[in-house]
Amino acid sequence: MESDREPIIEFNNVSFKYRVQTEPTLKDINLRIYKGEKILIAGQSGSGKSTLAHCLNALIPCSYPGDMTGTITVDGKDPSKLGVFGMSQIVGTVLQDTDGQFIALTVAEDISFALENDCVPQDEIFNKIREVGGKLELLQVMRNSPGALSGGQKQRVSLGGVMVCDVKILLFDEPLANLDPATGKRTIALIDEIMKREDLTVVIIEHRLEDVLYRDVDRVILMDGGRIIADKTPDELLCTDLLPVNGIREPLYVAALKAAGAKLMPESHPMHMETLDIEPYRDTVKKWYHSMPAHEKPKTGETVLSVQNLNFSYDGSRQILKDVSFDIKKGEMVALVGKNGAGKSTLASLICGFHKPDSGTILLEGSDISPLSIKERGEKIGFCMQSPNQMISKPMIMEEVGLGLTVRGASPKEVYDKVCDILKICGLYPFRNWPVSALSFGQKKRVSIASILVMNPEILILDEPTAGQDYMHYTEIMEFLQEIRRKLPITIIMITHDMHLMLEYTDRTLVLTDGQLIKDATPYEVLTDSAVCDRAYLKTTSLYDLAVSCGIDDTGEFAARFIDFERSKGKEVSHG
């Protein structure tokens, strides 16, 4: 069937080596993508998936020079000859970081940017912008600043910015990073809608496989070590072990089916939970569920932080937080979730003392902390920003980690001893004499956390510790935090958008919506409660749907038992 169609993208024996590297990053790539297909490219970091994408928009070899062999044809043309600008008329690239890629001050100007650069007369620009704005339902916000829009609207604007050129191919580089789950889902639906209406070909690079598969995908290209190791339909691929073996997370319902011992078949359409024919697997799953030990709730210690009836507004009129109350127990790892603008960061700022609440009290180990200054609170409640680059101010690791002690007047000997201790705990001791600039992103993140831990705080608040990180770095950061919890008596509060993180690593979840705390429960209970998930822009886990379709009533318990099982398996692997 495919032989009578013309490929719109064709790679023939393509290898590519970056000039600065000794090994080729792409090895002998042969790939055909046909007009109208939707292709997902998956792979760990370093697998070569981004390099492959850069070959399509000609950033390789035009902006990142290197040696290329083989031939690439995109819409009948050679990207390296057409250059980045030429290719931008054929392939529209939507980058990962929507905030970062907004260039102009208003939505209209941002969408028109490519046309301006192409010297299109102003009248034509106006017409084109109206047309594209209409298609993407952006006409209401044309004069707004793109930065002030909701996550979903931002995605529409960046899509509009590339659609004005009448491109034939849309290339998405991790479109779901930084989006809350519900918005991610809507983005995938939008892409699907646009590609069908405009008759486009779509290439998506993403490691959040389950979220992309929310809508049909024609083929998944799995990459590892610079090679294509699988090129299959999602139904076929999900029935193999290729994904977990190559460091890609399977959809949770697929992992659960496999854990239960079900032998998946492509005919049962495992691509989406909704289309999956559960009949062949129902009994296996049920039997497995009843054979698993019941989930034990973790023992909780005494209350370390108590927030009572907190109210806050920035301007005196719009309430950001409304009567928020909760307790945090000693040693817990708690997730603070909710859509963008729900009040998560504000709540963290109030606890750290960056702002003063309008009313309500915050008790730390039973005593009111309102009289304490930011600095005094900082000794008990550490706050770690999203990017380590926002925190690190000293060139050397020792100096950076010791900074908090030094400014508090500790003696050089004391600083040295404490810094060495904390570096050992954080696995950074071998690098103690290195400059910070020589570290990887993950290591820098550890340095920024170590520089807080050195002050021996009771509580550590982390703002989106894994945002924008792929599965490998995500695991690295989260395992590091688990390690810290084992070694230190610390309580951790995390602001996050990542449902997997919440499910796998946290003991409890606080859900904020429009400034109100609407749920305070275990992650299993939250993510199997569809009413709460809808209100808070979360997404029920597919484990919930699986449990329902298998006729298991206690969906939360099902999810909990599966995660327990995964954890014990993970431990076996790491100890074996």
Kindly list the residues in this chain that would bind other proteins in the complex (CB under 8 A): 57, 59, 63, 83-85, 88, 93, 95, 97, 100-106, 108-109, 112-122, 125-126, 129, 143, 147, 161-162, 314-315, 349, 352-354, 373-375, 377-379, 381-385, 387, 389-394, 403-404, 407-408, 451-452, 455
DSSP 396: B
* Bridging pattern class, strands 491-495 and 459-463: parallel
The span from the CA of 153 to the CA of 159, in Å, is: 10
Looking at beta carbons only, is 291 or 314 nearer to other proteins?
A: 314
For other proteins, give the closer residue by CB, 411 or 568.
411
Residue by residue, DSSP assigns 374-392 as HHHHHTTEEEE-SSGGGT-
Closer residue to other proteins in complex, CB, 348/517: 348
85 vs 483 by CB, closer to other proteins? 85
Q: How far is the CB of 88 from other proteins (least distance, A)?
A: 5
CB-nearer residue toward other proteins: 324 or 350: 350
Q: By C-beta, is 236 or 379 nearer to other proteins?
A: 379
Task: Name the minimum Å distance from CB 443 to other proteins.
Answer: 15
> Smallest distance from the beta carbon of 162 to other proteins, in angstroms?
7
* Dihedral angle sign, alpha carbons of residues 363, 364, 370, 371: positive
Q: Which of 100/570 has CB closer to other proteins?
A: 100
Q: Token pair 């719009």 is at which residue? A: 318
* Least Cβ distance, residue 79 to other proteins (angstroms): 13
Nearest-angstrom CA–CA distance, 298 and 334: 12
Taking the complex as a whole, how short is the minimal distance between the CB of residue 227 and other proteins, in angstroms?
26
On whether the CB atoms of residues 90 and 168 are closer than 8 A, the answer is: yes
| Cis, peptide link before residue 61, omega less than 30° from 0 | yes
Query: Terminal CA-to-CA distance of the chain, rounded, Å?
Result: 47
The token duo for 305 is 């932080």
Q: How far apart are CA 407 and CA 330, in angstroms?
A: 28
Distance CA 311, CA 516 (A): 10
- The sign of the dihedral angle between the CA atoms of 536, 539, 545, 546 is negative
Contacts of 383 (CB under 8 A, 6+ apart): 348, 352, 452, 461, 463
Burial class (CB in 10 A: 0-12, 13-18, 19+), 541: buried
**Residue closer to other proteins (CB basis): 375 or 567:** 375
Q: Which two tokens stand for residue 541?
A: 């886990």
Q: Whole-number minimum distance, CB 499 to other proteins, in Å?
A: 26
Separation of alpha carbons 461 and 466, rounded Å: 13
Indicate the residue among 95 and 139 with the shorter CB distance to other proteins.
95
Q: Assess contact for 9 and 74: CB atoms under 8 A.
A: yes
